[in-house]
């Protein structure tokens, strides 16, 4: 694993715009940059893939344990959502996608930092944008990336099985990252032959019998890029609890989306090479630890052993502690490896890097390649 210094394509911003990438890409706020890339060996990619494959099974086991043992409160999950989560887990409602954030420097086992199971973003960049970059910049090279094919294939399987026909895709469109991710998922569903409609979340209404869109069309299934733990504050939540509308991600995904799952994983699989020691009480860990809000997002309010903490809205939230394993440094940048899963299969990765040890909203996305 190494970080390469490259000359960006002269028209890289125009090339991104052609793909529909309209996130901020100026020199002042370089979310996507291609003056660098990470190169991995084939054996390193295999190591990451195998780690994610094993973590999927462990996440399922931990989720089952939390639900059967009724440990929702420890994970900070609202009781009203817990009831939905337990029901959807018993009914084996399917999951579309997720992202494992891993600490990896090319040497040793990848370590799970957290699992983004409910509202992961940076999907379009990992699936489409960096693949087009690879084809233009390194034709003939390879990349750990079959995310796009995996998404279309899963939607197609669901369509053939009659699980989904029409799906509404809802997000808060004022958030560019959320809109890009949601629109991309809608596009993959349409490519698989489904009827996919993109709508803002505030266009979802209740007609007294069912959820509907602004055209009064019944919403049979909905992908929502909105956290399950936020939904109890919504006026329509009582109707949602009783509605037969199918949801992606399903309610049970709130369980592994809590960082409390890190402590449960360590309880169930102590010493596993892909896990870091974690506990709800930091005093139970040997050595320095990082303290994370249970339902925090985008690196907010994470406290390092030095006492330094990132800003955010989760300062008063209950926390979980995880053994401190600082991200590796490449030219002063700290990369985190996001391995994407589609259904229950690892399908590819995206690399985000930050000058800080905590990967926050200001991190940048950097493409990768294998060998070459």
Residues with Cβ within 8 Å of residue 11, at least 6 apart in sequence: none
DSSP E strands: which ranges in the chain? 2-5, 36-40, 97-103, 111-116, 166-171, 195-200, 205-206, 211-212, 221-224, 246-248, 278-279, 289-293, 319-323, 334-342, 345-354, 364-366, 368-370
**Over the range 220-233, which residues count as b (16 or more CB within 10 Å of their CB) and which as e?**
bbbbbbbbbbebee
Question: Do 15 and 136 touch, CB atoms closer than 8 A?
Answer: yes
Question: Do 302 and 291 touch, CB atoms closer than 8 A?
Answer: yes
Ramachandran class of 44: left when φ > 0, alpha when ψ lies in -120 to 50, beta otherwise: alpha
182-186, Cβ contacts within 8 angstroms, sequence gap of 24 or more? 182/223, 182/225, 183/20, 184/123, 184/124, 184/127, 184/128, 185/96, 185/97, 185/123, 185/151, 185/223, 186/223
State whether residue 256 is helix, strand or coil. helix
User: Distance between CA 154 and CA 98 in Å, rounded?
Assistant: 14
Task: Extract the tokens encoding 77.
Answer: 């999950």
**Residue range 312-361, pLDDT digits in tens:** 999 999 999 999 999 999 999 999 999 999 999 999 999 999 999 999 88
State whether residue 322 is helix, strand or coil. strand
Confidence of residue 156 (pLDDT cuts 50, 70, 90): very high
User: Distance between CA 36 and CA 7 in Å, rounded?
Assistant: 8
Indicate whether 283 belongs to any domain. Answer: no
Please give the tally of structural domains in the chain.
Answer: 1
Return the residue matching tokens 């050595």: 287
Indicate whether 74 belongs to any domain. Answer: yes
Return the residue matching tokens 């469109």: 173
- Other CB atoms within 10 A of residue 348 CB: 27
**Residue range 191-238, pLDDT digits in tens:** 999 999 999 999 999 999 999 999 999 999 999 999 999 999 998 999
Indicate whether 354 belongs to any domain. Answer: yes
Indicate whether 247 belongs to any domain. Answer: yes
Indicate whether 306 belongs to any domain. Answer: no
User: Distance between CA 64 and CA 282 in Å, rounded?
Assistant: 24
| DSSP category for residue 208 | S
Indicate whether 271 belongs to any domain. Answer: no
Indicate whether 108 belongs to any domain. Answer: yes
Return the residue matching tokens 């960006």: 8
Question: Do 38 and 3 touch, CB atoms closer than 8 A?
Answer: yes
pLDDT score, position 28: 47
The overall average pLDDT reported for the chain is 94
pLDDT score, position 59: 98
Question: Do 184 and 190 touch, CB atoms closer than 8 A?
Answer: no
Indicate whether 321 belongs to any domain. Answer: no
Residue 33's domain spans which residues? 2-258+336-370
pLDDT score, position 25: 58
Question: Do 370 and 42 touch, CB atoms closer than 8 A?
Answer: yes
**Residue range 8-53, pLDDT digits in tens:** 999 898 899 899 887 665 554 578 989 999 999 999 999 999 999 9
Q: Is the peptide bond before 305 cis (omega within 30 degrees of 0)?
A: no
Query: What value does the mean pLDDT take over residues 159-168?
Result: 95
**Residue range 249-295, pLDDT digits in tens:** 999 999 999 999 999 999 999 999 999 999 999 999 999 999 999 99
């Amino acid at each position: 694993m190494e970080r390469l210094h490259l000359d960006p394509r002269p028209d890289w911003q125009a090339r991104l715009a052609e793909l529909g990438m309209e996130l901020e890409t100026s020199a002042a706020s370089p979310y996507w940059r291609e003056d660098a890339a990470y190169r991995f060996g084939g054996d390193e990619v295999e190591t990451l893939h195998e780690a994610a494959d094993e973590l999927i099974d462990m996440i399922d086991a931990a989720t089952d344990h939390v639900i059967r043992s009724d440990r929702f409160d420890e994970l900070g999950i609202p009781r009203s959502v817990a009831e939905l989560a337990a029901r959807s887990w018993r009914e084996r409602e399917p999951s579309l996608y997720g992202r494992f954030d891993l600490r990896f420097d090319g040497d040793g086992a990848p370590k799970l930092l957290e699992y983004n199971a409910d509202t992961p973003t940076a999907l379009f960049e990992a699936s489409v944008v960096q693949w087009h970059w690879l084809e233009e910049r390194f034709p003939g090279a390879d990349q750990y990336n079959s995310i796009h094919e995996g998404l279309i294939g899963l939607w197609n399987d669901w369509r053939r099985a009659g699980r989904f026909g029409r799906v509404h895709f809802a997000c808060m469109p004022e958030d560019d990252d959320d809109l890009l991710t949601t629109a991309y998922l809608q596009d993959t569903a349409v490519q698989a032959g489904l009827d996919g409609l993109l709508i803002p979340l505030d266009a979802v209404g209740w007609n007294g019998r069912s959820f509907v869109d602004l055209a009064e069309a019944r919403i049979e299934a909905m992908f929502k890029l909105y956290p399950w733990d936020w939904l109890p504050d919504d006026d329509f939540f009582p109707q949602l609890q009783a509605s037969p509308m199918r949801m992606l991600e399903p309610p049970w995904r709130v369980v592994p989306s809590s960082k409390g799952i890190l402590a449960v994983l360590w309880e169930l699989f102590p010493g596993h090479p892909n896990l870091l020691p974690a506990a709800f009480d930091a005093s139970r860990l040997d050595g320095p630890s990082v303290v994370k809000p249970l339902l925090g997002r985008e690196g907010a309010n994470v406290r390092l052993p030095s006492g330094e903490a990132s800003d955010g809205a989760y300062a008063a939230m209950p926390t979980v502690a995880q053994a401190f394993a600082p991200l590796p440094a490449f030219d002063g940048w700290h990369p985190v490896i996001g391995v994407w899963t589609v259904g229950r299969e690892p399908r590819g990765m995206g690399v985000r890097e930050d000058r800080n040890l905590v990967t926050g909203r200001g991190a940048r996305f950097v493409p990768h390649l294998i060998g070459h």
